[in-house]
Homo-oligomer: A and B are copies of this chain.
């Protein structure tokens, strides 16, 4: 049976936290046809509001350490402020948005990350995705808007990276849909020369991936990003796109396939 297509778009906090970039992004997101899901970040607002509340943001490798006070802040900011502004903005654009954390409908169950070298605090590693409830919601015309929060099924919310939420959700619904997962990114895609927008690499498959790794085109933070993309592809996701937030119509950016 041919599965129906769905687009999962992941957008970082930077875009959705400022009214002007948010409005433009929501216009673009609203214009995507067919089934879709939005996964958003919100780290800058969390840092800003934590600061005003006298709570220090501690980051390791760009990831947030989440103690009890910080968990309250990210619950407010990701689940409330950022998520509900997106939902209201999309409703104004006739998109029947529904804001979700992983606790809502038990969509994303996680466990608290075990303490090793670093105690990340209330950070969740995803255990399971309820693809079936997402499928049912989406088939009634609902567009899920997912905040980067999960829960442990024992009453605790957990902070979970938005890229991870997007990838896990994509894998979790791949049984029900033909999934394209799009990561919005500060560049138009993966480029031979980051200074030259025309050097974008339109397609990466396993063979090209090996060559780009060998010649150093894919390096630094791009290495795990592309690895995660292949991991999603090996778990049922049809295509991963890395593109700029104003180019999410599925035709632009770097397309990654197996």
Q: Which of A138-161 contact B (CB under 8 A)?
A: 140, 142, 149, 151, 153-157
* Minimal Cβ-Cβ distance residue in B for A72: B81
A142 touches B105 (CB 8 A): yes
- Of A5-13, A91-99, A170-178, A239-247, the segment with at least 4 beta carbons within 8 Å of chain B is A91-99
| A-B contacts, 16 listed (Cβ < 8 Å) | A49-B76, A52-B53, A75-B84, A75-B85, A79-B80, A79-B81, A84-B101, A84-B149, A88-B103, A91-B103, A91-B155, A92-B153, A98-B104, A99-B99, A99-B104, A133-B140
How many subunits of this chain does the assembly comprise?
2
Contact bitstring A162-189, B, C-beta under 8 A = 1, else 0: 0000000000000000000000000000
* Contact status A89-B155, CB under 8 Å: yes
Residue of B75, B105, B140, B151 touching A80 (CB-CB under 8 A): B75
CB distance from A44 to the nearest CB of B (A): 14
What is the interface size of chain A, counting residues whose CB is below 8 A from a CB of the partner? 41
Residues on B with C-beta less than 8 A from A83 are: 79-80
Given the contacts A52-B53, A72-B81, A105 and B96 also touching, CB distance less than 8 Å: yes
Q: Which residues of B contact A133 (CB under 8 A)?
A: 140
Spell out A's residues near B (CB within 8 Å).
Answer: 49, 52-54, 72, 75-81, 83-85, 87-89, 91-92, 96-101, 103-106, 133, 136, 140, 142, 149, 151, 153-157
Residues in chain B near residue A98, CB distance under 8 A: 100, 104-105
Question: How many Å from the CB of A166 to the closest CB on chain B?
Answer: 19
Interface centre among A83, A87, A96, A142 (most CB of B within 10 A): A87
- Asked if residues A81 and B75 are in contact (CB atoms below 8 Å), the reply is yes
Q: How far is the CA of A98 from the CA of B136 in the complex (A)?
A: 14
Residue of B nearest to A23 (CB): B155
Given A81-B72, A81-B80, A84-B149; A92-B154 close (CB under 8 Å): yes
Kindly list chain B residues whose C-beta atoms are within 8 Å of the C-beta of A79: 79-81, 83-84, 99
